[in-house]
Amino acid sequence: MIFPSLSGAKVFRNTRGKRPDKRLLISFLSLILTGLVVLYAASYYNSAIKGSSFSDIISQLFGIGIGLVIMLFMWKLDISILSKPVMSGSLLLVSFVLLTLVAIPGIGVYINGSRRWLRLGPVSFQPSELAKYSLVLFMARVLSSPKRDITDFLKGLLPLFVIPGAMFLLILMQPNLSTAGSIIITSAVMTMIAGARWLHLILIGVSGLAVGAYYALSEPYRRARMISFIDPFQYFSNEGYQLAQSLMAFGSGGLFGMGLGRGKQKLSFLPYPESDFIFAIVGEDMGFFGCLFVISLFMTFLFLGLRIAIREKDRFRSLLCAGIVSTIGIQTILNIAVVIGVMPTTGLPLPFFSAGGTSVSIVMGAVGIILNISSEQTAL
């Protein structure tokens, strides 16, 4: 028996008469479908150079197919199983092992100056995507414990950040400051929701900013990236090139855009138009109002997800739902902030939109948990 503490436990719940929140489901489907349309518009040119204009779409659909299976599994799963220490502990252990393997030269896949991927045959994936949600599960379980007094800074709150801090450092080694930072932010948001004192969170936040600032300024290329985002056109020939091209994409799009697929930046001008900077393609092809439309889709999804978390009476389920929604929301905000030049350029995908089969599969599994929780509420 792999998990002896789960022996005899009910794995799946009775879903008869229990349907997920229809509005959340429609919001999720709208994001997935819109993301596929935008992804094709952003990727067809570079994909055609590789051999097929549909290659990125096919890969994304494969990831969505796997994600659908995971989502259905999570929807039928008895959520109480996830509250068991063995579940969160096992997922954390797997995440730490995978993150450690990424850091080992020769095992972690090195691409464009970063070692963030592991490869299994023809498939490569980012362990940090799994790590984000395993941490959310861990935080939800610990914060829901009646024995945990998070108003006590030294004994209750500070020890909670040991695991997020260790995960932060491992991801920082890749290097991936944006993902590492989003993990700390999500942890802070979850502790805030759980009732931590603002002063304590501010102290942790200031410490985190100090570590991030030191890291960002400790290497010449990181300092150059920090400076370049302030005026990317001054550094157009090197560090500022990608952001400058992104801003030109938004400028070209104007209010209504150049038309879906008709933008020029994807024609080998803007690096990674199908992944980290896909929102720039939204701006160029669909214009200002297209950007507002996409943002409204995310805002609707996040609002509905947080409403489910607020309505949930069970503390663990409420925190788990809020943590998943916060993770998706923080990643969305950071990605858009980078693309429009509010933050230094970092590699962070836009959920549901950016190419990446592993990313979309895992986030769909997380959405399955939210739908599971919502279906219990609608059945009442």
- pLDDT by residue (tens digit) across 153-171? 888 888 899 999 999 888 8
Q: Report the alpha-carbon distance of residue 108 to residue 179 in Å, rounded.
A: 17
Could you tell me the CA-to-CA distances from 34 to 22, 27, 57, 217, 260 in Å, in that order? 18, 11, 12, 38, 12
Range 135-154 average pLDDT: 91
Q: What is the pLDDT of residue 337?
A: 93
Q: Closest Cα to residue 129, out of 143, 142, 116?
A: 116
Q: Which residues contact 124 (CB under 8 A, 6 or more apart)?
A: 109, 117, 118, 358
| CA angle 133–138–144, rounded 5-degree value | 125
The bridge status of strand 123-125 relative to strand 114-120 is: antiparallel
Nearest to 331 by CA among 164, 176, 160: 176
ω into residue 175 within 30 of 0, thus cis?
yes
Share of the chain above pLDDT 70, in %: 92
pLDDT band at 116 (very low <50, low <70, confident <90, very high): confident
Q: Whole-prediction pTM value?
A: 0.91
Q: Where are the alpha helices (DSSP H) in the chain?
A: 22-50, 55-76, 85-103, 127-143, 162-172, 177-194, 198-217, 220-228, 241-253, 278-311, 315-339, 357-378
Quick: pLDDT tens for 3-28.
444 544 567 776 666 788 899 999 99
Amino acid identity at 346: T
The predicted-structure confidence for 33-48, as pLDDT tens digits, reads as follows 999 999 999 999 888 8
β-strands 109-111, 114-120 pairing: antiparallel
Cβ distance 215 to 177 under 8 Å? yes
pLDDT above 60 for 2: no
Q: Checking DSSP bridges between strand 109-111 and strand 123-125, what pairing results, if any?
A: unpaired
Q: Which helix (H) or strand (E) holds 118?
A: strand 114-120
- More confident: 177 or 317: 317
Coil, helix or strand for 219? coil
Quick check: 52 pLDDT over 60? yes
Please say if the pLDDT value at position 349 is more than 60. yes
Average pLDDT, the chain: 87
Backbone angles phi, psi at 12, to 5 degrees: -110, 145
Give the tens place of pLDDT for each residue, 274-292: 999 999 999 999 999 999 9
**370 neighbors 321 (Cβ within 8 angstroms):** yes
DSSP calls for 325-338: HHHHHHHHHHHHHH
Give the residue-averaged pLDDT of 137-154.
Answer: 90
